[in-house]
């Protein structure tokens, strides 16, 4: 039986979990120049960590739909938080690059489970507004991440930065465990905040090529979103000659833009359609990328982030509008798997591009990827409207 007073409590727990999920995402880009200097590694070797992390992330999220058939979503997210906390504790203690890479088994599996299980839950039971705010809390975690890592490096070490991230994830896992013990999640199946009822739903896209196109948008989006936060410090330190503490603020500003975009568009979600918000986001991101080609104006990275911010949650919510509920959980899992694959493939390819051509190639290359994602989404939307 639904206890309506549990809805705010559950949302706080889910949002806290997504804050913990976002914490590692801005840390590696800041820590990597220091790690590679201490370990004597080349710039592009960070791609190995990213690739292995993303493989495990993609595998766990891809199988999350099958896991959900015998394990509840809240328990999947709890196991994911534990795995994340173990992985980043391992990062902080790793004596070598090999051990760092091995720890991605835990970090990747954990992040994939948390991301896919909670996205599936929110897409099923909550509106686009709450989905935007869910990812807003990921953005808060990702924004705090480079600031936390920068300060830890300045006063202690990059190892202390990853230890701090792990501690926060352990605390979050304990909170989720207590909520499971108190039965907070039992209201999940009958949430009054859920989306459209079956009688209100419109026809769905049924052809698999549209599912693959939707997944490919997530592949592209995750690749260029992550690549920006990963390579911005290197660009501003090694190509544009900024000091470490100043360069570290650019990924923080970028991730703050993502957070702000999700917060603002969360309020606007009830007044504008997802597709209108997605279109606006792509155009703002393109404008910010053009600014950064020609200047160091930090407003440019904020605008990129602000534009990209609502795209992921609105696209995720569009999955529940465009496709049948019978495939929703598995399709969300596959989309999150595409996210992990996109992070691995595109960030590693961008690393090769920046090493062989120029660090400055990041911005024009990202413009091309953003434009492709925009056109793919327009193609899906046009075909969806044909079935209405």
Residue 311: both structure tokens together:
């795209």
pLDDT higher than 50, residue 200? no
pLDDT of residue 268: 81
pTM (2 d.p.): 0.72
Give, as one character, the DSSP assignment of residue 239.
I
Report how far apart, in Å, the C-alpha atoms of 251 and of each of 33, 66, 121, 230, 352 are: 14, 35, 29, 8, 20
How far does CA 280 lie from the centroid of its chain? 19
In a domain, residue 208? The reply is yes
**CB 350 within 8 Å of CB 231:** yes
Tell the burial category of 9 from Cβ atoms under 10 Å away from its Cβ (0-12, 13-18, 19+).
middle
Report pLDDT digits (tens) over 124-142: 777 777 877 888 888 788 8
Tell which wins on pLDDT, 193 or 4: 4
pLDDT of residue 197: 43
Report pLDDT digits (tens) over 135-174: 888 878 887 888 899 889 988 899 999 999 999 999 999 9
In a domain, residue 195? The reply is no
pLDDT of residue 205: 57
In a domain, residue 287? The reply is yes
pLDDT of residue 160: 93
Count of structural domains, the chain: 1
State the Cα–Cα distance between residues 219 and 217, nearest whole angstrom: 5
For the chain, state the CA radius of gyration: 20
State the Cα–Cα distance between residues 368 and 188, nearest whole angstrom: 41
- In this prediction, residue 341 has a pLDDT band, given cuts at 50, 70 and 90, of confident
- In this prediction, residue 312 has a pLDDT band, given cuts at 50, 70 and 90, of confident
Give, as one character, the DSSP assignment of residue 241.
-
How large is the average pLDDT for residues 322-345? 78
Name the percent of the chain lying above pLDDT 70: 90
Question: What domain range includes position 86?
Answer: 6-188+203-387
pLDDT of residue 201: 47
Report pLDDT digits (tens) over 246-265: 887 888 889 889 888 888 88
pLDDT of residue 237: 83
Q: What is the mean pLDDT of the chain?
A: 83
Domain of residue 251, CATH code: 1.20.1250.20
pLDDT of residue 91: 92
pLDDT of residue 191: 40
In a domain, residue 1? The reply is no
In a domain, residue 193? The reply is no
State the Cα–Cα distance between residues 167 and 184, nearest whole angstrom: 24
How large is the average pLDDT for residues 305-329? 81
Report how far apart, in Å, the C-alpha atoms of 335 and of each of 215, 264, 369, 373 are: 5, 24, 17, 14
pLDDT of residue 159: 93
pLDDT of residue 192: 38
In a domain, residue 232? The reply is yes
pLDDT of residue 193: 40
State the Cα–Cα distance between residues 44 and 39, nearest whole angstrom: 13
In a domain, residue 197? The reply is no
In a domain, residue 148? The reply is yes
């Amino acid at each position: 039986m639904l206890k309506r007073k549990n809805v705010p409590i559950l949302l706080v727990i889910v949002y806290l979990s997504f804050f913990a999920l976002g914490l590692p995402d801005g840390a590696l880009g800041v820590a990597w120049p220091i790690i590679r200097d201490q370990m004597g590694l080349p710039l592009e070797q960070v791609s190995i960590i990213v690739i292995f992390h993303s493989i495990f992330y993609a595998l766990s999220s891809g199988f999350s739909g099958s896991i959900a058939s015998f394990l509840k979503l809240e328990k999947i997210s709890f196991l994911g938080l534990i795995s994340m906390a173990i992985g980043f504790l391992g990062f902080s203690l790793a004596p070598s690059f090999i051990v760092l890479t091995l720890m991605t088994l835990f970090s990747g599996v954990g992040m994939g489970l948390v991301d896919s299980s909670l996205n599936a839950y929110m897409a099923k039971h909550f509106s686009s507004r709450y989905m935007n705010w869910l990812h807003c809390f990921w953005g808060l975690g990702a924004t705090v991440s480079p600031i936390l890592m920068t300060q830890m490096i300045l006063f202690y070490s990059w190892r202390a930065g990853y230890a701090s991230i792990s501690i926060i994830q352990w605390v979050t896992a304990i909170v989720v465990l207590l909520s499971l013990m108190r039965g907070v999640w039992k209201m999940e199946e009958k949430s009054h905040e859920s989306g459209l009822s079956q009688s209100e739903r419109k026809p769905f896209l049924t052809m698999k090529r549209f599912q693959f196109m939707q997944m490919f948008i997530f592949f592209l989006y995750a690749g260029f979103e992550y690549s920006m936060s990963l390579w911005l410090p290197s660009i501003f330190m090694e190509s544009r000659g900024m000091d470490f503490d100043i360069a570290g603020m650019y990924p923080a500003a970028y991730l703050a833009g993502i957070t702000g975009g999700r917060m603002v568009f969360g309020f606007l979600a009830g007044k504008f359609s997802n597709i209108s918000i997605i279109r606006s986001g792509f155009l703002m991101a393109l404008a910010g990328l053009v600014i950064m080609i020609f200047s160091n104006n930090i407003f440019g990275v904020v605008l990129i982030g602000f534009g990209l911010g609502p795209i992921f949650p609105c696209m995720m919510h569009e999955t529940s509008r465009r496709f049948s509920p019978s495939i929703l959980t598995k399709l969300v899992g596959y989309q999150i798997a595409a996210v992990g694959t996109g992070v691995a493939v595109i960030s590693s390819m961008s690393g090769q591009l920046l090493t062989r051509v120029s660090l400055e190639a990041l911005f024009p290359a990202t413009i091309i990827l953003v434009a492709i994602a925009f056109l793919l989404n327009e193609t899906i939307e046009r075909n969806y409207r044909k079935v209405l």
